[in-house]
Amino acid sequence: MNKPILTFLILALSFFGIEAQTNVMKFDKQAHNFGKFVESVNPSTVLFQFVNDSKVPLIISEVVSSCGCTVPERSSDTIKPMGKGYIKVSYDSKNRIGEFEKSVEVFYRTDKNRSQSLRIMGEVLKPVEVEPSGMIPSYGSVTMGQTLLTSPLLYDNMVDTLRGRIFNNSDRTVNFKSKIALPKHVKLSIHEFKIAPFENKSFNIIIDGRLIKGYGFEKQGIMFTTDHPVTKNIGVEVRWIRKQFFPVMSGRKLRKQPKYKVSKTMIDFGKYDDGLLRTDTIKISNVGRKKLVFHEIFPECPCIIVKYPKMELNPNESMNMIVSFNPGGKYGDYTSSIWMVCNDPTNPESRLYIKNELPSANNKNCLSCPR
């Protein structure tokens, strides 16, 4: 992803609910320069260490890189207040001679949705060539211009088109074919084609936000098979974040919309070590004037079990959602959440947090700890 697209992604996410103005994710550095190094099959790696400088748990929802050559990893999804963690970033320099600058976007939540940008840069040098003792054939290569294509804000009433490009860096014509079965909301503009020597060809990927059922982050891989003697397969990953579209409303019109309300936004089961299931209830109400519809009620950990009677509430109607937490295999201060998506234009996406204070992993009396 080039700089203009990356800048648009950050600004768009900031404008539409991802607040990046006040970061409580305090990194030891925002950028790392690898300097000059020789191309290698082994990736170059750096750790960005951080502290959760807030009074609530920090939950990392996604870490996205601007290029498929850059792979981010996180130490943990949940970081307790003043706790430490890290983002590990690896750069694949194979077939990428020259200067580079890539970015990684960390999406997280404390009291609000936020994001934080990290950068890596450097210059990859070509290895010193050794004079061959005999004739070795050179087949060239086939490469994808970008191995990651992103639609940062895909609304449920829109269609987005992303463009990819494949380069044939060899002295022979290469045939390409895609046989992968795609979901109905993802379409490929061309499934079979050929590229002449040292030429390139573009293709479009159309994502129809109107046909997708879920909301939030999703991805889809697309693979091409080739008859190139070395590169038999080449692919691209498509990512998007689907959001609800709400037209601009006056204060008077907003008062006539559905209104989502919960009895509490956090369940704190406190400190325990018996390894037994914990259960509590959250009352969910519609205090608005139109029907409240839930699109998603999604526990972000298999350890959380939720039971609720319906996905729609009429005005002035309520329901009880039973929330259970299974501590099996968990230890230490453990917080997870339930992701809620509804048609309340003032609060379309929210999280309900489940907090537990479990024994440390080395506690011999810990019945929930993995053995």
| Residues 36-51: tens digit of each pLDDT | 888 886 788 999 999 9
Burial-class residue 74 by CB neighbours within 10 Å (0-12, 13-18, 19+): middle
Instruction: Please provide the average confidence, as pLDDT, over all residues in the chain.
Output: 87
The encoded tokens of residue 105 equal 């976007």
Q: CATH homologous superfamily for 251-357? A: Immunoglobulins (2.60.40.10)
Strands (DSSP E) contained in 169-277 are 174-177, 186-188, 192-195, 200-208, 216-226, 233-243, 260-262, 266-271
The encoded tokens of residue 190 equal 């061309």
Give percent of the chain above pLDDT 90. Answer: 62
- 3-state SS assignment for residue 215: coil
Label residue 355 by pLDDT band (50, 70, 90): very high
Label residue 318 by pLDDT band (50, 70, 90): very high
Identify the architecture of domain 139-245 in CATH.
Answer: Sandwich (2.60)
Closest CA to 140 of 164, 173, 108: 173
Q: State residue 153's pLDDT score.
A: 87
150/286 Cα distance (integer angstroms): 35
Query: Over 70: is that where the pLDDT of 277 sits?
Result: yes
Mean pLDDT of 325-340: 90
Q: State residue 328's pLDDT score.
A: 85
**Identical fold at 1-127 and 139-245?**
yes
Query: Over 70: is that where the pLDDT of 3 sits?
Result: no
Domain 1-127 class in CATH: mainly beta
Taking only the tens place, the pLDDT of each residue in 108-157 is 888 888 888 999 999 998 887 655 555 556 678 899 999 999 988 899 99
13/109 Cα distance (integer angstroms): 13
- 3-state SS assignment for residue 81: coil
The encoded tokens of residue 324 equal 């259970």
Q: Break the chain into its structural domains and give their ranges.
A: 1-127, 139-245, 251-357
With residue 161 as reference, give the H or E element that holds it: strand 159-168
Taking only the tens place, the pLDDT of each residue in 57-102 is 999 988 998 888 899 999 888 899 999 999 999 998 888 889 999 9
Query: Over 80: is that where the pLDDT of 331 sits?
Result: yes
Closest CA to 95 of 46, 144, 30, 135: 144
- For the stretch 219-226, contacts whose Cβ atoms lie closer than 8 Å and that sit 24 or more positions apart, written own/partner, are 220/182, 220/183, 220/186, 221/180, 222/178, 222/180, 222/182, 222/186, 222/188, 223/178, 223/180, 224/166, 224/176, 224/177, 224/178, 225/176, 225/177, 225/178, 225/179, 226/142, 226/174, 226/175, 226/176, 226/177
Pairing, β 260-262 against β 278-286: antiparallel
Q: State residue 320's pLDDT score.
A: 97
Phi, psi of 316 (to 5 degrees): 65, 20
Query: Over 60: is that where the pLDDT of 7 sits?
Result: no
Range name among 151-165, 311-325, 330-344, 355-369 with the lowest pLDDT average: 355-369
Q: State residue 28's pLDDT score.
A: 92
Taking only the tens place, the pLDDT of each residue in 210-240 is 999 889 889 999 999 999 998 899 999 999 9
**Cα-to-chain-centroid distance, residue 40:** 28
- The shares of helix, strand and coil residues in the chain, as percent rounded to the nearest 5, are 5, 50, 45
